[in-house]
């Protein structure tokens, strides 16, 4: 009998790429398995998931804005419509198991699936669980987590410590360095600072890098800079004004394996996926947590590394003054780079996707 799995969630790359990694791991174990994604209409999963070769259906769900907003008035209607559509999708597809990876769509889909008696699995990526996953956990059969002490949020008997699943192409990047320099048009005789603000960009990081761009270049370093769409034009203009071959900017980098391959130091937000990838590629990192993430979970993610002397942390409010200077000091300090690299590598979980896939199949 052909097995069927629904994977729900998205909103950011931090939810989408782990979901695709789980799907790929399931296919690697059982090529006949049928997988359907359920996302939120208008969110980036509706573009990224089909690019990865999977079908996706969108729900009309949206989040509640934390500030007072007229948009919140439509939330009950959107939630009701999403629950009804989720029920229709489940009745039609008839999944054997439903997986939630976080993001707007996972709430309605997993709630309906559990009410219909379908086994559900939650993949919690962060060190601090969100309210939706805490609610869904009561009915979930298994909860895969990436950080210790998650029994403060979830029933201990349901927990499985797997780590976060990541794209398989980043599991081995050391031999791709020469290819990476050619791909991005950068110079192999210059140390490289990789700047990534997440799939949607990071305003404070971008502004700090732009302000210090000339200093970084004049200090003998080169920059590979993922800006996000909102800052792409500004970053390109800043680089063009310097007329330098030692800086390249992109609104989004699909070839992250190559980006990590040539990076000597990485500046990044501290989303769960970014942290997990940095652990696996073992790169010295400066983390600038997004301060408005729910329950400030990015700071908690970053601190889990800082406490192991596995990364540096700069608060978002301090980045304009400190980020570039800290990057320069780390680029110059080979011994510190080696220490951070060795310590962060110990925290990597390279088999996360496979372990989660095996847990999923175990529920069927």
Is 219 marked as a binding-site residue? no
Is 327 marked as a binding-site residue? no
d(CA 275, CA 293): 15
Is 137 marked as a binding-site residue? no
Is 199 marked as a binding-site residue? yes
Is 332 marked as a binding-site residue? no
Is 253 marked as a binding-site residue? yes
Is 167 marked as a binding-site residue? yes
Is 307 marked as a binding-site residue? no
Is 126 marked as a binding-site residue? yes
d(CA 319, CA 325): 10
Is 281 marked as a binding-site residue? no
Is 168 marked as a binding-site residue? no
Is 233 marked as a binding-site residue? no
Is 298 marked as a binding-site residue? yes
Is 14 marked as a binding-site residue? yes
* Cα–chain center distance at 236: 25
Residue ranges for the known binding site for UDP-N-acetyl-alpha-D-glucosamine are 12-14, 126, 167, 199, 253, 272-277, 298
Residue ranges for the known binding site are 12-14, 126, 167, 199, 253, 272-277, 298
């Amino acid at each position: 009998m052909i097995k069927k799995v629904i994977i729900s969630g998205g909103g950011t790359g931090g939810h989408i790429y782990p979901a695709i990694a789980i799907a790929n791991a399931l296919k690697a174990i059982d090529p006949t398995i049928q997988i359907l994604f359920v996302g939120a209409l208008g969110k980036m999963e509706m573009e990224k998931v089909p690019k990865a070769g999977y079908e996706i259906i969108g729900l009309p769900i949206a989040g509640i804005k934390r500030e007072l907003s007229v948009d919140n008035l439509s939330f009950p209607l959107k939630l009701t419509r999403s629950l009804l559509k989720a029920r229709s999708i489940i009745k039609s597809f008839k999944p054997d198991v439903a997986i939630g990876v976080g993001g707007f769509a996972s709430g309605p889909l997993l709630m309906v699936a559990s009410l219909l008696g379908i086994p559900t699995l939650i993949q919690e990526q962060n060190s601090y669980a969100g309210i939706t996953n805490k609610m869904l956990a009561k009915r979930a059969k298994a909860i895969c987590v990436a950080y210790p002490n998650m029994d403060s949020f979830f029933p201990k008997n349901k927990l499985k410590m797997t780590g976060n699943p990541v794209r398989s192409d980043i599991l081995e990047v050391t031999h791709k360095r020469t290819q990476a320099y050619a791909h991005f048009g950068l110079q192999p005789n210059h140390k490289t600072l990789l700047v990534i603000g997440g799939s949607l960009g990071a305003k404070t990081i971008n502004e700090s890098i732009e302000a210090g761009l000339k200093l970084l270049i004049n200090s003998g370093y080169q920059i590979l800079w993922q800006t996000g769409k909102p800052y792409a034009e500004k970053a390109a203009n800043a680089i063009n004004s310097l007329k330098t071959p030692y800086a390249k900017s992109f609104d989004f980098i699909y070839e992250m394996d190559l980006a990590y391959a040539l990076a000597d130091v990485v500046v990044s937000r501290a989303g769960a996926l970014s942290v997990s990838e940095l652990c696996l590629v073992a790169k010295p990192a400066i983390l600038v947590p997004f301060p408005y993430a729910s329950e400030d979970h990015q700071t908690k993610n970053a601190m889990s590394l800082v406490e192991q002397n596995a990364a540096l942390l700069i608060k978002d409010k301090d980045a304009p003054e400190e980020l570039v200077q800290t990057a320069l000091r780390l680029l110059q300090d080979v011994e510190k780079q080696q220490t951070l690299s060795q310590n962060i590598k110990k925290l990597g979980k390279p088999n996360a996707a496979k372990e989660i896939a095996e847990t999923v199949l175990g529920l069927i």
